[in-house]
């Protein structure tokens, strides 16, 4: 992928250039793994690095400055903005100080995983066209796009720490947002609050992690194979129900 800068001043480019150059190398390594193991055949043409304001008000109207439009990924490298955004979606809940510190210290390593998330959306193993309406399966794609870059690009300690934070926040927001089925993820998602949006991302990630590491014992390809079976089958049951059936068979 190529990398382009969409900033108003040269000072902004200089502020982020070192980090972006580091990302160029690391995302290329991740891209290679996706090409060799996960059927990434048509990678995005470029990453557009820009401000959070431009990403959310000029290039799109989504509230989060990390998204894909056709063959381009748009991403803000402003770690301070990301930290403040993640802290804001905690909505003043009484949470352990470790949770707050996790987001106060939001690092380039985690931003790299967000870039990896956007790249992972382009796998041919996801069968819906990226911008088409999807039926009962968006949680699987979003969860896998959270899981793969974290698993492959974060160190073991940081991966487990991240998972622990995600579990804690799903539990904390369960009474607020847990009443809706996970299969409804994606229906007017971005009309909701940030806390509601991230609740669905988090539980999608945790379910995919459970499937990969628990039910399928680390065999990611087998997870994708069963997803393919569901997708090209009659789809009379939701994807969550389909995987619940796989869990039941595993326990017998």
pLDDT tens-place string over residues 69-125: 989 999 999 999 999 999 999 988 999 999 999 999 999 999 999 999 999 999 999
Per-residue pLDDT at 70: 87
The tens digit of pLDDT for each residue in 200-239 reads 999 999 999 999 999 999 999 999 999 999 999 988 899 9
Q: Is the pLDDT of residue 1 over 50?
A: yes
Mean pLDDT of the chain: 91
What percent of the chain lies above the pLDDT cut of 70?
92
Ramachandran quadrant class, 160 (left: phi over 0; alpha: psi -120 to 50; beta: rest): alpha
User: What domains does the chain contain, in order, with CATH numbers?
Assistant: 2-251 (1.10.390)
- Whole-model pTM: value is 0.93
**What whole-number distance in Å separates Cα of residue 204 and Cα of residue 117?**
13
Q: How far apart are the first and last CA of the chain?
A: 46
**pLDDT grade for 252, boundaries at 50, 70 and 90:** very low
- Alpha-carbon distance values, 66 to 29, 37, 40, 164 (Å): 20, 24, 20, 23
Say if residue 131's pLDDT is above 60: no
Q: What is the mean pLDDT of residues 134-161?
A: 92
Residue 132 has pLDDT above 80, yes or no: no
Q: What are the tokens at 16?
A: 């982020």
CA 234 to chain centroid, in Å, comes to 28
What would the mean pLDDT of 46-53 be, rounded to a whole number? 97
Higher pLDDT pick, 251 / 136: 136
């Amino acid at each position: 992928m190529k990398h382009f800068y969409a900033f108003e001043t040269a000072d902004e480019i200089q502020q982020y250039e070192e980090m972006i150059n580091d990302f160029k190398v690391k995302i290329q390594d991740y891209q290679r793994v996706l090409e060799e193991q996960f059927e990434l055949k048509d990678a995005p043409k470029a990453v557009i690095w820009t401000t959070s304001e431009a990403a959310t008000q000029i290039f799109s109207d989504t509230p989060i400055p990390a998204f894909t439009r056709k063959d381009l990924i748009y991403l803000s490298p402003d770690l301070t903005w990301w930290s403040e955004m993640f802290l804001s979606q905690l909505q003043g809940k009484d949470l352990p100080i470790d949770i707050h510190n996790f987001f106060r210290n939001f690092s380039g390593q985690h931003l790299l995983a967000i870039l990896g998330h956007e790249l992972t959306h382009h796998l041919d193993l996801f069968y819906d066209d990226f911008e088409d309406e999807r039926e009962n399966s968006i949680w699987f794609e979003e969860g896998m796009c959270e899981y793969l870059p974290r698993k492959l690009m974060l160190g073991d300690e940081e991966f487990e720490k991240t998972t622990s934070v995600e579990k804690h926040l799903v539990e904390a927001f369960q009474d607020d947002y847990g009443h809706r089925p996970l299969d409804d993820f994606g229906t007017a998602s971005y009309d909701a609050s940030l806390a509601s949006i991230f609740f669905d991302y988090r539980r999608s990630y945790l379910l995919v992690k459970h499937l990969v590491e628990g039910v399928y014992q680390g065999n990611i390809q087998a997870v994708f194979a069963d997803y393919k079976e569901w997708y090209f089958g009659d789809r009379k049951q939701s994807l969550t129900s389909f995987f619940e059936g796989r869990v039941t068979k595993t326990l017998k």
